Amino acid sequence: MTEQISEFLLALDLSQHVPAFVENDVEMDLLQSLSDADLRDLGVDKLGHRKRILAAAAALGTTEGPADGTSARAQRRLLTLMFADLVGSTALSTRLSLEAYRETIRDFQDAVSEEVESYGGFVAKFLGDGVLAYFGYPQSHEDDAERAIQAGLALVKQIGKLTVPNGAGRLEVRVGIETGLVVVGEIVGRGAAQEHSALGSTPNLAARLQTVADPGSVVVGPACRRLSDGAAEFETLGPHVFKGFDDPVPVWRVVRFSGSYDRLERRRGDLTPLIGREHEIGALEAALSRTRLGTLGTTHVIGEPGIGKSRLLREFITRQGDAFTLLIGQCSPHARTTAFHLFIDLLRRFRDTVGAEGGSLEDRLVEAGLDRDRHIPYLRRLVELQASIPGVDPDLIGSRTREALSEFIMMQGRLKPTVLYLNDLHWIDERSSNVLDALVRDPDRRGVLIVAAFRPEFSAPWADAPGVEELVLEPLSTSEAVQLFRDHLTDQDRLADMMPYIERAGGNPLFLEEIARHFTYEPSEEPLLDSSGIPETLAGMLMQRVDRLSPEARRLVERASVIGREFDTRLLGDGAARHMAELEQSGIVQALPEQQDRFKFHHALVQQVIYESLLSEDRRSLHGDVARCLEDLHAGQEIEVAEFLAQQSEAAGNAIATARYALMAGKRALDLFALRDAQGWFQKCIDLTGPAGEVDDVLLLARAVVNQTQILCWNGDFPAMTELARSHLARVQTLGEIEEVSRLLTWIGEGYMHATRYADAQQAFDRAQTIGEALGDESSVGYAKGLRLWLDSIVGEGEAFDALPLRSKSVEVLGRHLGDRYLFTLSHYARWAHATQVGQVCVAAEEASRLQAMGSRDNYPPAECWGACLLALSQAEAGNLRDALAAAEHGVASAASGFDRLMADLALGMVLVAADDPSSGLARLSNAPWRTERIGAFYFAYAGDAAYGRGLVRGGQLEEGTAWLREGMRWFDTLGNRRGSASRCSAYWKPPPRPEMPRRRGSGSS
Instruction: For 203-239, give the secondary structure using H, E and C.
Output: HHHHHHHHHCCCCCEEEECHHHHHHCECCEEEEEEEE
**What is the maximum span of the chain, computed from C-alpha positions, in angstroms?**
124
d(CA 27, CA 6): 10
Strand order in the sheet with 448-454: 325-330, 418-423, 448-454, 297-302, 468-472
Encode burial over 253-291: b for 16+ CB neighbours within 10 A, e otherwise.
Answer: bbeebeeeeeebebbbbbbbbbbbbeebbebbeebbeeb
* DSSP assigned state of 163: B
- Look at residue 995 in the predicted model and tell me its pLDDT: 41
The CA angle 114-116-121, to the nearest 5 degrees, is 130
Tell me the pLDDT band of 14, cut-offs 50, 70 and 90: confident
d(CA 184, CA 195): 10
Give bridge partners of residue 125 from the DSSP assignment: 132
d(CA 678, CA 954): 44
Instruction: Give the SS3 label for residue 444.
Output: coil
Angle between helices 577-585 and 551-561 (to 10 degrees): 90
67: pLDDT strictly greater than 60? no
The residue type at 255: V
Residue pLDDT, tens place only, 763-784: 999 999 999 999 999 999 999 9
**Taking a C-beta distance cutoff of 8 angstroms, is the pair 219, 177 a contact?**
yes
**Taking a C-beta distance cutoff of 8 angstroms, is the pair 137, 185 a contact?**
yes
CB neighbourhood size of 960 (10 A): 13
Instruction: Give the SS3 label for residue 506.
Output: coil
**Taking a C-beta distance cutoff of 8 angstroms, is the pair 531, 523 a contact?**
no
- Look at residue 13 in the predicted model and tell me its pLDDT: 72
**Taking a C-beta distance cutoff of 8 angstroms, is the pair 213, 174 a contact?**
yes
Q: Which of 548, 495, 553 is nearest to 522 (CA)?
A: 548
- Look at residue 894 in the predicted model and tell me its pLDDT: 92
Phi and psi, residue 186, nearest 5°: -75, 130
Q: Which of 272, 281, 310 is nearest to 509 (CA)?
A: 272
Which of 249-263, 710-724, 736-750 has the largest mean confidence?
Answer: 736-750
CB neighbourhood size of 637 (10 A): 12
Q: What is the dihedral of CA 819, 822, 828, 829, to 10 degrees?
A: -170
CA distances in angstroms from 114 to 111, 118, 253, listed in the order given: 5, 6, 23
Residue pLDDT, tens place only, 114-157: 899 888 889 988 887 889 999 988 877 767 888 899 899 999 99
- Look at residue 500 in the predicted model and tell me its pLDDT: 66
CB neighbourhood size of 745 (10 A): 27
d(CA 194, CA 216): 30
Q: Are strands 566-568 and 589-591 parallel, antiparallel or unpaired?
A: unpaired
- Burial class of residue 212, CB neighbours in 10 A (0-12, 13-18, 19+): middle
**Taking a C-beta distance cutoff of 8 angstroms, is the pair 698, 422 a contact?**
no
Chain CA centroid to CA 304, Å? 17
723: pLDDT strictly greater than 70? yes
- DSSP per-residue string spanning 839-875: T-HHHHHHHHHHHHHHHHHHT-HHHHHHHHHHHHHHH
Interval 486-501 mean pLDDT: 70
Which of 315-319, 717-721, 888-892 has the largest mean confidence?
Answer: 888-892
Altogether, the residues listed in the chain come to a count of: 1006
**Taking a C-beta distance cutoff of 8 angstroms, is the pair 997, 881 a contact?**
no
d(CA 978, CA 989): 16
593: pLDDT strictly greater than 80? yes
**Taking a C-beta distance cutoff of 8 angstroms, is the pair 31, 65 a contact?**
no
CB neighbourhood size of 335 (10 A): 22
d(CA 278, CA 276): 6
Interval 425-442 mean pLDDT: 93
Phi and psi, residue 706, nearest 5°: -60, -45
Judge if the upstream peptide bond of residue 138 is cis by omega within 30 degrees of 0. yes
Residue pLDDT, tens place only, 496-540: 776 766 765 667 787 777 667 656 544 333 333 344 445 454 655
pTM of the model: 0.65
The residue type at 503: E
Residue pLDDT, tens place only, 143-201: 788 889 989 999 999 998 888 777 667 889 999 999 888 888 765 554 444 566 788 88
d(CA 671, CA 388): 8
Residue pLDDT, tens place only, 275-295: 888 999 999 999 999 999 989
549: pLDDT strictly greater than 70? yes
Residue pLDDT, tens place only, 836-882: 888 899 999 999 999 999 999 988 888 999 999 999 989 988 999 99
**Taking a C-beta distance cutoff of 8 angstroms, is the pair 7, 192 a contact?**
yes
The residue type at 277: R
* Mean pLDDT, rounded, of the chain: 82
- Burial class of residue 806, CB neighbours in 10 A (0-12, 13-18, 19+): exposed
Cβ contacts of 400 within 8 Å, gap of 6 or more: 374, 378, 392, 859
d(CA 940, CA 557): 59
937: pLDDT strictly greater than 60? no
- Look at residue 960 in the predicted model and tell me its pLDDT: 80
Residue pLDDT, tens place only, 357-395: 888 888 888 888 898 888 998 898 888 867 667 767 777
- DSSP per-residue string spanning 568-636: EGGGS-TTTHHHHHHHHHTTSEEEPTT-TTEEEESSHHHHHHHHHHS-HHHHHHHHHHHHHHHHHHTTT
CA distances in angstroms from 963 to 419, 942, 948, 967, 988, listed in the order given: 59, 16, 12, 6, 10
Give bridge partners of residue 79 from the DSSP assignment: 180
Instruction: Give the SS3 label for residue 704.
Output: helix
d(CA 550, CA 547): 8
Rg of the chain in Å (alpha carbons):
37
CB neighbourhood size of 551 (10 A): 15
- Look at residue 192 in the predicted model and tell me its pLDDT: 45
62: pLDDT strictly greater than 50? no
- Burial class of residue 920, CB neighbours in 10 A (0-12, 13-18, 19+): middle
Answer left, alpha or beta for residue 859, where phi above 0 means left and psi between -120 and 50 means alpha: left
Residue pLDDT, tens place only, 969-984: 666 666 565 555 454 4
Greater confidence (82 vs 493) lies with 82
Q: Which of 253, 171, 172, 246 is nearest to 209 (CA)?
A: 253
CB neighbourhood size of 19 (10 A): 12
**Taking a C-beta distance cutoff of 8 angstroms, is the pair 270, 510 a contact?**
yes
**Taking a C-beta distance cutoff of 8 angstroms, is the pair 84, 171 a contact?**
no
The residue type at 932: T
CB neighbourhood size of 842 (10 A): 13
Answer left, alpha or beta for residue 118, where phi above 0 means left and psi between -120 and 50 means alpha: alpha
Instruction: Give the SS3 label for residue 185.
Output: strand
Instruction: Give the SS3 label for residue 548.
Output: coil
Greater confidence (335 vs 483) lies with 483
Angle between helices 918-927 and 939-954 (to 10 degrees): 140
Interval 694-708 mean pLDDT: 93
Cβ contacts of 987 within 8 Å, gap of 6 or more: 946, 947, 949, 950, 965
The CA angle 319-325-328, to the nearest 5 degrees, is 85
By 3-state DSSP, what share of the chain in percent is helix, strand and coil, each rounded to 5? 60, 10, 30
